A and B are shown apart, each in its own frame.
Chain A
Amino acid sequence: MKKLLCLLLAVATVLAMSVLPAMAEGAEINMFISSPEYADAVNELIAAYKEVAPDVTINYETTQNDYPTLLKTRINAGMTPDIFSTTSGKEIADYAEYSYNFAGSPAAEAMDPAVSAMMVYGDGEIHGFALKGNYFGMLYNKAIFEEVGIEFPRTLDAFEAACEKLSEAGYQPVTTGFAEWWVFKHVMQHFLDAASDDPAALVAAFQKGEAHFKDYPVLYDNFFRFIDLCVKYGDNKPLETDLAGEDAAFGAGKAAMMTGQGAWVEADVLAIDDALQIGFAGYPVTDDPAKSQIIGGSDQALRINKDSANLDAVMDFVNWWYTSDYGKAWFCDVAGVIPPITDAKVADMQIIQQGSELSATDGAAALSICYSSDSFNQAMGEAIQAYIGGTIDKDACCAQIEAKWVELDGAAQ
Chain B
Amino acid sequence: MDKKSMSPMNRKALKETLLFTLPAVVMVLIAIYIPFVMSGYYSLTEWNGISRNPVFIGLNNFKTIFSSGSPEFVNALVFTFKYSALFIVFSNVLALALAVALTKEFKLANFLRGMFFLPYIMSMTIVGFIWKFIFTQGFEKLYELTGWGIWNLSWLGDGGLAFWSLVIVGTWQSLGFYIVLYIAGLQAIPKEVMEAASIDGATGSQRFFRVTLPLLGPSITTCMFMSLTNSLKVFDIILALTKGGPGGATYSATLDIYREAFQNNNYGLGSAKAIVFFVIVLVLTQVVLKIFESREVQQ
Contact call B157/A239, Cβ cutoff below 8 A: yes
Contact call B50/A382, Cβ cutoff below 8 A: no
Q: How many residues of A contact B (CB 8 A)?
A: 37
Question: Which residues of B, 164-183, contact A by the 8 Å Cβ criterion?
Answer: none
Q: Is A18 an interface residue (CB 8 A)?
A: no
Q: B109-117, B201-209, B259-267, B291-299: which lies at the A interface?
A: B259-267
Contacts of A386 in B (CB 8 A): 159, 246-249
Contact with B along A399-413 (1 / 0, CB 8 A): 000000000100001
Q: Is B195 an interface residue (CB 8 A)?
A: no
Contact call B265/A239, Cβ cutoff below 8 A: no
Question: Which residues of A, 359-394, contact B by the 8 Å Cβ criterion?
Answer: 373-375, 378-379, 382-389, 391-392
Contact with A along B72-110 (1 / 0, CB 8 A): 000000000000000000000000000000000000000
Contacts of B135 in A (CB 8 A): 240
Known: A72-B49, A94-B50, A245-B136. A375 touches B265 (CB 8 A): yes
Contact call B244/A239, Cβ cutoff below 8 A: no
Q: Is A76 an interface residue (CB 8 A)?
A: yes
Contacts of A236 in B (CB 8 A): 152
Q: Is A3 an interface residue (CB 8 A)?
A: no
A3 shortest CB reach to chain B, Å? 14
Contact with B along A63-99 (1 / 0, CB 8 A): 0000011001001100000000000000000110110
Q: Is B290 an interface residue (CB 8 A)?
A: no
Question: Which residues of B, 234-264, contact A by the 8 Å Cβ criterion?
Answer: 243-249, 262-264
Number of A-B pairs, beta carbon distance below 8 Å: 85
Q: With CB as the reference atom, state the residue of chain A lying closest to B143.
A: A236
Contacts of B48 in A (CB 8 A): 94, 413
Q: Is A262 an interface residue (CB 8 A)?
A: no
Contact call A389/B249, Cβ cutoff below 8 A: yes
Contact call B262/A239, Cβ cutoff below 8 A: no
Known: A95-B50, A375-B264. A240 touches B157 (CB 8 A): yes
Option from B12, B50, B136, B157 in Cβ contact (under 8 Å) with A389: B157
Q: Is B156 an interface residue (CB 8 A)?
A: yes
Q: Is A117 an interface residue (CB 8 A)?
A: no
A89 shortest CB reach to chain B, Å? 15
Q: With CB as the reference atom, state the residue of chain A lying closest to B156.
A: A240
Option from B12, B16, B158, B263 in Cβ contact (under 8 Å) with A239: B158
A397 shortest CB reach to chain B, Å? 9
Majority SS at the chain B contact face: loop
Contact call B264/A408, Cβ cutoff below 8 A: yes
Majority SS at the chain A contact face: helix
B60 shortest CB reach to chain A, Å? 12
Q: Is B191 an interface residue (CB 8 A)?
A: no
Tell me the bound Cα distance from A136 to B247 in angstroms. 24
Q: Is B154 an interface residue (CB 8 A)?
A: yes
Contact call B247/A387, Cβ cutoff below 8 A: yes
Question: Which residues of B, 14-58, contact A by the 8 Å Cβ criterion?
Answer: 15-16, 19, 48-52
Question: Which residues of A, 195-235, contact B by the 8 Å Cβ criterion?
Answer: none
Tell me the bound Cα distance from A61 to B15 in angstroms. 44
A110 shortest CB reach to chain B, Å? 29
Contacts of A1 in B (CB 8 A): 12, 15-16
Contacts of B246 in A (CB 8 A): 179, 239-240, 385-386, 388-389
Contacts of A191 in B (CB 8 A): none
Contact call B50/A237, Cβ cutoff below 8 A: no
Contact with B along A172-198 (1 / 0, CB 8 A): 000000010100000000000000000
Tell me the bound Cα distance from A124 to B129 in angstroms. 45
Q: What would be 21 A-B contacts, judged by CB atoms less than 8 Å apart?
A: A1-B15, A5-B19, A72-B49, A72-B262, A94-B48, A237-B157, A239-B156, A239-B158, A239-B245, A240-B154, A240-B156, A375-B265, A382-B244, A384-B247, A385-B245, A386-B159, A386-B249, A389-B246, A389-B249, A391-B159, A391-B247
Instruction: Give B residues with C-beta under 8 Å from A.
Output: 12, 15-16, 19, 48-52, 135-136, 152, 154-159, 243-249, 262-265
Instruction: Give A residues with C-beta under 8 Å from B.
Output: 1, 5, 68-69, 72, 75-76, 94-95, 97-98, 179, 181, 236-241, 245, 373-375, 378-379, 382-389, 391-392, 408, 413
Given contact pairs A97-B52, A239-B154, a sample of 20 additional A-B residue pairs in the complex whose CB atoms are under 8 Å apart: A5-B19, A69-B262, A72-B262, A95-B50, A236-B152, A237-B136, A240-B135, A240-B156, A240-B157, A375-B263, A378-B263, A383-B248, A385-B248, A386-B246, A386-B248, A388-B247, A389-B249, A408-B264, A413-B48, A413-B265
In the complex, the 6 A-B pairs of residues with the closest C-beta atoms, listed nearest first = A386-B247, A239-B157, A240-B157, A385-B247, A239-B246, A237-B154
